[in-house]
Amino acid sequence: MERSLIARRLMFSAAHFYRQESFSDEKNRETFGLCYTPHGHGHNYVIEAFIDGPIDPDTKLVVNLTDLDRVLREATEPLEHRHLNFDVPEFKNSSAGKIPTSENIALYLRDRIIKALPSLAPNLKLNRLRLYETDALWVEVIE
Ligand code: NI
């Protein structure tokens, strides 16, 4: 069966700061700079999900866009308009595994999207996920 890669972009907004609780105040400031503040700051994040899969012989689609949007929206929904350090359990304390960096947020979203994909169609694969913090800064998780 023919396969194709479909990419979809979606935006969400959230606030965060970076703090490693095992670091001293000084080391946090040195390491994280402006990202180490007591109250944090916000971003309009953009995700790009690249979905790889067989083209359905009847619809000629890899995935129904409404369904894909629902999965992406459900993945980002717990983060939407939240302060990640206070509102989201996965980022709630400041231990090494939980700092809400773009790297960590991308991994969080990857896991949620991968979990939901089988409900859309068999054999769909998240090929890669990009998370843009700004136009000039993004991370990419490659499967
Ligand atoms: Ni930031």
pLDDT of residue 76: 98
E strands in the chain: 3-16, 41-54, 82-83, 125-134, 137-142
Q: 143 pLDDT exceeds 80? A: no
> Of 35, 48, 90, 140, which residue is the catalytic one?
35
Residues 19-34, mean pLDDT to the nearest whole number: 95
**Whether residue 133 lies in the annotated active site:** yes
* Spacing, Cα 41 to ligand 1 middle (Å): 6
pLDDT of residue 93: 81
Residues 50-64, mean pLDDT to the nearest whole number: 96
**Whether residue 30 lies in the annotated active site:** no
Report percent pLDDT > 90 for the chain.
92
